[in-house]
Structure 1
């Protein structure tokens, strides 16, 4: 049996950093995906012949474990229970760390360890100890703030649950099926457990957006799913500059301690921007193109204001400023997305902007060594394609 799933990345449209201080944030799915394919294999003559193989196609890396070794270290007495998500204990994490270390991951790719740990834990607890090959490919740049780890956790959970017959599928379009509501919820809970292995204490924003798609509003731990009624297209520019999210968050908190009143005003302003943006996106007027243009103009202004407030928090970067200056020449509004200090920058592409102009902007940005994508905002969440062998 072969099962394939895809899960989208995400962007923060408004509210990053301020959300840590009680403000509202808005996040959305983008139509750039991580794909995971699972091929369950027939049992061989003995456990040492039966293997679990993980192929990371984009990096030309392959990892393999014998069933005997997995059973030895991962407590074979546990029976898989796909319908009941559970957390990875510290003891299990230590055992998995040994399995990962044995793979001799190249030093330059050692950051993959947490994702591989998530894979092993989800596999053992949803599928059990069955030989298989799992192939991962992604359209998302890693570690750039576009939710690549959550997309991996969601897509992995989807293929494993589908192979365990633990999900029910609704409509099918272009070969991809959408899980029903109960299955969505189960998938999201498993993906959140996977995210905990990677990030320790994730907010749940990334996996929720990747699972359900569209958009969410988030404040003080409460997630509200939004329905977008306006098509939005973004240019996403990857500065290729790595950043330390924890240090950037700490820096904003320290600035808030030094300037409590001023920073409280900044956070309140961001809260207002996020709420207004959510209201515009959800408004369901069946307008003419003029009303869409008016909404886009308002969104552009909100993007510019949000970026100015992020700069006042101290989380911009020279690479981000390069993108801002370049897009401003073409009268396009941009803001950083995620932690800042590098990472990715969003640029709204209003409906009146021609493809020729977008090509010019991309050419100029890429001449500075930056990486560009165009993406539609607020699209589908996780989807599954299952087929029997020929």
Structure 2
């Protein structure tokens, strides 16, 4: 009977996996809605403890989220768009600088042969492509017109996300209670313990790390803009996004900022030192303030596990897989730790020990 139950549970798991894979193209708004509900549930719980009803707490949280989103749309996104346009305009000059200054310097230091880089062909191909796409708005509109159905599906998903998130957040505690009541009574404590550990990891990495990413993006962007770097906001935001993997944001950000600084400031030493100082301060704040305050000493995921999970999720399920990657990796890590503990306690690990030895 026990074997039969195991086969039934295995069949159910396989069926769920097949359904997820078959429906992954339409799962994005629901997964984002679940993520929003999970992240916002502690805030709604606090509002409930202050005397608000669950529904009004959700309304307040969604109102705050809408205000933040509007602020991004009205302030941050236009600034980023200007910097993207500026990067587009500077690309030919950056290619010239790379061809006539940076690559010859590397070539002379490494003793490479003349014409080693074959940069003329690369530059010609890039320049030809850029010459055909001078009207950025026109290109975007042509792509949108050519794929109208895809655009409509994307807009529908954007509309569905807040709707799904609102209803899930309103009924979150109720759904969690019903799921708990469905647990086998004899396994309830064990399952709740595993769920608590998964929540600990998810809280540390999804909720805490996202806040660290936002804080680092603000620190890097503000510092680089104060230094006077033209692409400071763009590079700072990219460095903050890359901070989902520890030290990745620092490496990508300081590398891109130094290249942009070399191009903009030439050989001026002080702006370059200021760029390095910005990232050193950001890294120090992350290690001494942000991570202890926002993430704490809870168990996180290894950076290699994060990279593999994101790449594997994107390869298997596209954008939906990227959304699922970190939560699934966190749950798998918790389960593997318990499997490791069971293995250490099993006869397979200990073996038959001869008492005479």
Normalising by structure 1, report the TM-score.
0.20
Larger Rg computed on CA atoms: 2
User: Which is richer in strand?
Assistant: 1
User: Which is richer in helix?
Assistant: 2
Higher relative contact order (CA 8 A, sep 6+): 1
Normalising by structure 2, report the TM-score.
0.21
